[in-house]
Amino acid sequence: MGIPVAVGVLVVVLVWLAGPGMLGIRAKSPGAPVDAQITKAVDCSVPGAAESVSFQLGGKPRQGTLDSCGHGKDEHLQVLVPDDAPADGTVSVTMPDATAGAQDLRAPIALALLVFACFCGGMYAYLVIRGPGKLALLS
């Protein structure tokens, strides 16, 4: 009984020390939010749709591509321009995270689910070690 408990506690502690990256939670992508305008709208039926946007970066008008579809021409929206954007040419921009603030809740919930999974695995190991016929529900 002690080995499954120790393994479960060890797994939880190692994941806790590894941080949110171990749970598949990424930090927000670095970039500056800027206001943009759709210059070329793309229908969502087109595979690999990418819309063209125009925005101001450093006081200069810039063009960019947005991996998105369904917006209207001349529609205004906010995009994230990467910190390492080239000084000239087309910039690949992304949409800001639509669920701002949810980043804070994902790690504790994922860790709680991991603790629950370790508990279930430990109980299964306990029942297997204990053998058949000891519990009326399982026989």
**Residue 83 lies inside a defined structural domain of this protein:** yes
Burial 77-114 (b: 16+ CB within 10 A, else e): bebbbeeebeeeeebebeeeeeeeeeeeeebeebbeeb
Do 75 and 107 belong to one domain? Answer: no
Number of domains the chain contains: 2
In the predicted model, what is the mean pLDDT of residues 56-63?
88
Do 37 and 87 belong to one domain? Answer: yes
**Residue 139 lies inside a defined structural domain of this protein:** no
For the entire predicted model, the pTM comes to 0.51
Residue 102: is its pLDDT beyond 50? Answer: no
Residue-level pLDDT at 38: 93
- 4-55 pLDDT, tens digit per residue, is 778 888 888 888 787 766 766 666 667 788 999 999 998 888 788 889 999 9
Do 11 and 54 belong to one domain? Answer: no
Do 103 and 120 belong to one domain? Answer: yes
Do 42 and 77 belong to one domain? Answer: yes
What count of other Cβ atoms lies within 10 Å of the Cβ of residue 64? 24
Do 16 and 64 belong to one domain? Answer: no
**Residue 81 lies inside a defined structural domain of this protein:** yes
Provide the domain limits for residue 59.
33-93
Do 108 and 87 belong to one domain? Answer: no
